[in-house]
A = this chain, B = another copy of it.
């Protein structure tokens, strides 16, 4: 099939606005009489609140409102995650007890930030400090302070599972590997900091400008928490300056506090975190401790696997349970065939300040580090090439595994092959230079995952035709940087046979977009793409109906391209789309409105049977393999990445530039995760304050990254396309770890791989 736009290099619709500074973010919204909102947070990791006196703050000139938990709604902020967490633990403000340094205790709205800061200092909170716990394993010990009175321990969620007969598997195994891996907190580091502006109008409608990846879910949560009709709550999420998960699903305390302050004062209220405040706000990928036991046969076949996964969530679950689920089901249970497996997953409370929100990879990244590091160790032990070991344990296209996951497209073998070829894997493994090494890691992930929010996986789109054959297209997707506006523009233009500029995309405002789950879970191209394809097809069918009448041909005989509609059988019969839409709208009274509703054919996990009833959590999985070459300085321990060859199964690429861009971005985050990024804590306090303390890879820091797009033509994806975003960072860290091992023979099982850890390991290795 020869496409006009699909699979080409098409300029992003948001390119010019972004490079010129025209693009407007929530913080650029300037409303008259906006007050500055500031939040007072707990200085203690664990304490009782005995009383709060706000009178001094209230009497400060320029202070318009002071609020505490008494002013906050009683609906828990995480009500919509209750089916996951089996409990709720998050409110807009602490009432009788604080559980981490940074927990919201009071807030003010004042004429400017300076007055607000002074007002915070005038609020007297009477605390009584109590014992805190900062390590998840300590938190599980019987004498640890328990964070919640309604619980007997700090284990918020316990999720066990057992498939086949794992004991028997280990008995049969020729080799057993047991390792422990540890991952750090990773901060999302979006260029745009968290914040929002809230404004109520005379009719009690709330408008909230904020940076959310999921406007409609956000609207649903904010309205429900505040107890107002959802349709009277408008969430405007214009351009979003990066999210990476931190801006998905959550109604954060500041959202509700801002709305309450705005209601109380009658003015718009803006709360915006400074970079330092955002580091302390501490959204992060949760840290994991993973005990991984694998039994393999002499030929490399995996026969049994067992894991204990401990996820530390800080003082509130947020979306930790979803991440636990993904951490177990992707890398642990599904990159490779595992006939017998057993796991125990736990989400554990501590008094640490991190908020366990989503981050690219969503749990999978953490487990993938463990699984793919251990696979390298197994290959080494068996004297096999890691590629060969992987091939021995792979699925095949069309397979359905014991949990019910079905692989309708399966690009993993091709990803391994192409990344290895691109990186000269065989040559470099055969002829090793000193202190240089090459490593490989593979992955599986999903595009959309039924159960990642609620029990649905849906998108929708609406499209209006104009008299001149141009179209207004609406989806809920805010542009968080993924390029989804360009993707849906291409899809609609391809279906309709128009020019790209004839498709005007509007998104990121719940006041005029139909429901969509939003931008997360690598679901944009797949789910929104499918919804837009359905909507475009719907309106194209309506246009063809009018055209068939005008042309006196059968509808089924029609095709459109280059803004014209042709009759296949009589190709000289043609008419422009503009003529048809003009005739329909201006002469026939036929207003053309198309809609597309996509409901991913997939199923929910049934914890009782341990299976998915149909297809698995998604019909379409992502696969990839990255090969990393490093050089390690044995004197300093510094790891320099020389190249990353990243092959990813995208089903079919909608836009080559943007797909490659995702790989660049994901590898960049993956390298930070592997080597430098760590939201370090001490006694429950965040130690990082800025990007000097917290080093992310910037463009000049990057090695050569070679993106390789593997095509598998997924039968469910729009034009065969699958997602990509998250997959791109998942295998980077283990590939780096494996390359480090290949370079200098030391195995680092604890991320990030800092020079200190490398030197220490080298010293231990020397010691024997």
Interface residue ranges, A against B (CB under 8 Å): 13, 16-17, 20, 22, 201-203, 205, 220, 223-224, 229-232, 454-458, 460, 462, 464, 466-468, 470-472, 474, 501-504, 506, 509-512, 514-515, 585-591, 593, 595, 597, 599-600
Are B220 and A467 touching (Cβ within 8 A)?
Answer: yes
Check B231 against A472 for contact (C-beta < 8 Å): yes
The minimal Cβ–Cβ distance linking A454 to chain B, given in whole angstroms, is 5
A-B contact pairs, 14 of them (CB 8 A): A17-B203, A22-B201, A220-B466, A229-B504, A230-B466, A230-B467, A231-B502, A457-B589, A472-B510, A506-B511, A509-B512, A514-B593, A515-B585, A589-B599
Could you tell me the distance in whole angstroms from the C-beta of A28 to the nearest C-beta in chain B? Answer: 10
Contact status B599-A470, CB under 8 Å: no
- Residues A458 and B17 in contact in the complex (CB < 8 Å), given A232-B504, A504-B232, A595-B595: no
In the bound complex, what is the Cα–Cα distance between A599 and B202 (angstroms)?
Answer: 35
Collect the chain B residues with CB atoms within 8 Å of residue A220's CB.
466-467
A75 to chain B, nearest CB (A): 13
Across-interface contacts of A232 in B (CB, < 8 A): 470, 501, 504
What CA separation (Å) do A411 and B515 show in the bound complex?
45
Q: How long is the Cα–Cα vector from A587 to B604 in the complex, in angstroms? A: 11
Q: What is the CA–CA distance of A501 and B17 in the complex, to the nearest angstrom?
A: 37
Which residues of B sit under 8 angstroms from A462, Cβ to Cβ? 462, 593
Q: Is the CB of B504 within 8 A of A586?
A: no
A678 to B506, CA, bound (A): 46
- A514 to B590: give the CA distance in the assembly, Å: 12
Distance between Cα atoms of A454 and B582 in the complex (Å): 11
Task: Report chain B residues within 8 Å CB of A467.
Answer: 220, 230
Which residues of chain B are near A597, meaning CB under 8 Å?
590-591, 593
Instruction: Enumerate chain B residues within 8 angstroms of A587, measured Cβ to Cβ.
Output: 454-456
Question: Is B504 in contact with A231, judged by CB distance below 8 angstroms?
Answer: yes
| CB neighbours of A502 from chain B (8 A) | 229, 231
Q: How far is the CB of A86 from chain B (nearest CB, A)?
A: 17
A205/B504 contact (C-beta < 8 A), A223-B468, A467-B220, A591-B515 known: yes
The minimal Cβ–Cβ distance linking A675 to chain B, given in whole angstroms, is 37
Which residues of the other chain, B, contact A13 by a CB distance below 8 angstroms? 203
CB nearest neighbor in B for A504: B231
- Which residue from chain B places its CB closest to the CB of A204 in the assembled complex? B501
Identify the 7 closest CB pairs spanning chains A and B, nearest first. A512-B512, A589-B599, A231-B470, A230-B466, A229-B470, A231-B504, A16-B202
Please, how many angstroms separate the alpha-carbon atoms of A506 and B454 in the complex? 29
In the assembled complex, how far is the CB of residue A513 from the closest CB belonging to chain B, in whole angstroms?
8
Q: How far is the CB of A15 from chain B (nearest CB, A)?
A: 9
Cβ A229 vs Cβ B466 within 8 A: yes
Set of chain B residues within 8 Å of A589, measured between Cβ atoms: 456-458, 599-600
- Given A22-B202, A232-B504, A509-B512, 15 further pairs, Cβ under 8 A: A16-B203, A17-B202, A220-B466, A229-B470, A230-B467, A230-B470, A231-B502, A232-B470, A454-B587, A456-B586, A456-B588, A458-B591, A464-B515, A512-B512, A589-B600
Question: Within the assembled complex, what's the spacing in Å between the Cα atoms of A330 and B591?
Answer: 29
User: B466–A231 contact, CB under 8 A?
Assistant: yes
Residue of A203, A205, A230, A588 most packed against chain B (CB within 10 A) = A230
CB-nearest residue of chain B relative to A232? Answer: B504
Are B20 and A202 in contact (CB-based, < 8 A)?
A: yes
A501–B201 Cα distance when bound, in Å, is 14
Bound Cα distance from A602 to B118, whole angstroms: 69
Question: Please, how many angstroms separate the alpha-carbon atoms of A231 and B510 in the complex?
Answer: 20
CA distance A559 to B16 in the complex (A): 52
Query: How long is the Cα–Cα vector from A228 to B591 in the complex, in angstroms?
Result: 21
Expressed in whole angstroms, the Cα–Cα distance for A591 and B600 within the complex equals: 12
Q: Considering only CB atoms, which chain B residue lies closest to A234 in the complex?
A: B504
Q: What's the Cα separation between A650 and B468 when bound, in Å?
A: 37
Contact A593 B460 (CB under 8 A): yes
- Among A501, A502, A589, A600, the most chain B Cβ lie within 10 Å of the Cβ of A589
Nearest CB of chain B from residue A459's CB, rounded to whole Å: 8
What distance in Å separates the Cβ of A276 from its nearest Cβ neighbour in chain B? 29
Which residues does chain B contribute within 8 Å of A17, judged by CB atoms?
A: 201-203
Residue of A460, A467, A587 with highest tally of chain B CB at under 10 A: A467
Residue on B with the closest CB to A14? B203
A591 / chain B contacts, CB cutoff of 8 Å: 458, 460, 514-515, 597, 599
Contact across chains for B511 and A512 when beta carbons are under 8 A apart: yes
Query: Which B residues are in CB contact (< 8 Å) with A512?
Result: 472, 474, 506, 509, 511-512
Q: Can you name the residue of chain B whose Cβ is closest to the Cβ of A499?
A: B229
* CB neighbours of A501 from chain B (8 A): 229, 232
Instruction: Report the minimal beta-carbon distance from A618 to chain B, rounded to whole angstroms.
Output: 13
A529 to chain B, nearest CB (A): 16
Give, as a whole number of angstroms, the nearest-CB distance from A585 to chain B: 6
Interface centre among A460, A588, A591, A600 (most CB of B within 10 A): A591
Verify B224–A586 contact, CB threshold 8 A.
no
Chain B minimum-CB-distance residue to A594: B595
Cβ–Cβ contact B224 & A468, under 8 A? yes
- Shortest distance from the beta carbon of A53 to any chain B beta carbon, whole Å: 35
Min CB distance A506 to B, Å, is 6
Q: Chain B residues near A458 (CB, 8 Å)?
A: 585, 589, 591
Q: How far is the CB of A591 from chain B (nearest CB, A)?
A: 4
Chain B residue, CB-CB nearest to A587: B455
CA A593 to CA B463, docked complex, whole Å? 12
Q: How far is the CB of A305 from chain B (nearest CB, A)?
A: 33
Residue of B with least CB distance to A224: B468
* A474 cross-chain contacts in B, Cβ below 8 A: 512
A342 to chain B, nearest CB (A): 31
Report the minimal beta-carbon distance from A468 to chain B, rounded to whole angstroms.
Answer: 5
Measured CB to CB, the nearest residue on chain B to A588 is: B456
- Which residues of chain B are near A503, meaning CB under 8 Å? 231
Considering the chains assembled together, what is the distance between the CA atoms of A244 and B447 in angstroms?
53
